[in-house]
Each structure stands twice: as C-alpha cells, then as structure tokens.
Amino acid sequence: MNINGSTALVTGSNRGLGARLVAQLLASGAAKVYVTARDARSIDPSVAADPRVRVLALDVTDQSSVDAAARAASDVDLLINNAGVLGFGSALDGDLDLFSRDLHTNYLGTMRVTRAFVPVLEANGPAAIANVLTLIALAPVGPMAGYSASKAAAHSFTQALRAEVRGRGIEVVGAYPGGIDTDMLAGVEADKADPAEVARRIVEGIAAGDTVVWPDEASAGAGQVYLGDPLHLERLLAG
C-alpha cells in the first residue's frame, strides 16, 4: 500500500517499537498518524505537537476504549497492531495469570481492535492491516512459552483474517521480528535489533505489499530455516 498520504493508527505507540513505527510512517509521508496508548498522557509531547499526529487513548483489552477509538479514527486506512506484553515463564511453571494477560492482550486484543476497524478500513480502502507478531510465534522459546503461544494464536488469527478480508480491499501483513532492543527485553542477554531499523523494514514491507515481513537480520535468517524445515527451527530455538 502507498504510505505517502495514508492515514495510519498504531496501537501501543507511546514507546518502544510503536513509537519508532510512528516516526517511520511520518518520515515515509503519512498524512496523519493516530498515536495511541493506554494512557494518552504517556505520549511524548514533541510527537503530539506534530500537526500530522492525533493522540488517542486506546487500551486493546477494553472493548469500550476500542469502540471509541474506531469512532474517533474513522478515516484510517492503515492499522498497525503493535501493542503487546510479555510475561516470562515456562510451559510447566509459568504463572497462568501472566499467560492469560498475554493472551488477552496479544491475541484477543489484536482481534478486538481489528474487528472494530475492519468496517473503517473497508470504507477507506484500499487499506492494510499489519500485525506485529514475533519469530517465536512460529517456534517457541522455553522461558517465554506463554508469550510464544499468545503470539502463535495471533499468527493464526492473522492467517484467518487474511482469507476473510480478501476481496474487501484490505491487505493483511504479518511481521515476525527477532529480539528488539526495547523495554520488553530489558535485562535479557540476547542479540537485539535496533527498533528504528525494525520499524523501517516493517513500513517498507507494508509499502511493498509483502504478506510476510522478516524485519531484522536474525528473523530473516531464522525465517528461511522455518520455511524450509519448521522442526529444525523448533530445535534451534529450544536449544
């Protein structure tokens, strides 16, 4: 889709990857970007001051908040489902309340926002939805078993959605980053990509009409492994 002149909304865009996605969209010529956060006061005032930016409160787990956002942002033609949480824990020992929070945010939250915005996107089409998933939606990492499962559910939703909105003028893009250097992985020893670079590659993928985006070097390599032999990736990430 053409980013130049588009009207985008990014969930969870007060910080982390979401804030970089906003910056990249504006740099790529978006006419308007709805910058959203659970607490609208957490959005950087210098971002909010940009005349192309509209600030909105949006909690993806709260139906009334999502409905209000869809009414307020009725001109959107690009939705980026970026908001997410990560609760650490293994398959046998992880805290079920944390796993439940991940499911409610990463899976059901993505679905809730998407359902509210599909009529808006259809009316403003051609349009696109990009879901920020993760490489470990495709094969889990042990200490992030609940998070991986929530993102696997969001990956499956992305596939089902793609088929359901085909023919309604809405493209559906899945982005599968590896580790990114944001608060989410603070304190974790791992290779982490620059969030600005990940954002650039996601927006370029949307612009290019890609169905799947591997937005960093680690995910690009692992993605090729996955496409050739999913079990091999499972063994690599488990190791």
226 is catalytic: no
Among residues 94, 177, 205, 223, which is the contact residue for ligand NAP, using CB under 6 A?
Answer: 177
Dist. CA 238–CA 76, nearest whole Å: 40
The H or E element spanning position 158 is: helix 145-165
SS3 of residue 113 by DSSP: helix
Of the two residues 123 and 212, which places its CB atom closer to ligand NAP in the complex?
212
| Residue where the block lists tokens 């051609």 | 126
Kindly state the tokens that stand for 193: 């990509």
Residues in 192-221 at the binding interface with ligand NAP, rule: CB under 6 A: none
Indicate the burial class of 42 (C-beta count within 10 angstroms; 0-12, 13-18, 19 or more).
exposed
Per rule CB under 6 A, is residue 83 in the interface with ligand NAP? yes
Q: Exactly one of 34, 107, 147, 226 is catalytic; name it.
A: 147
42 binds ligand NAP (CB under 6 A): yes
CB 231 within 8 A of CB 225: no
Segment interacting with ligand NAP, rule: CB under 6 A, options 24-32, 83-91, 155-163, 206-214: 83-91
Nearer to ligand NAP, 26 or 180 (CB): 180
Rounded to whole angstroms, how far apart are CA atoms 54 and 4? Answer: 17
- State the residues that interact with ligand NAP by CB under 6 A: 11-12, 14-18, 37-39, 42, 58-61, 82-85, 105, 109, 132, 134, 177, 179-180, 182-185
What residues are annotated to the active site? 147
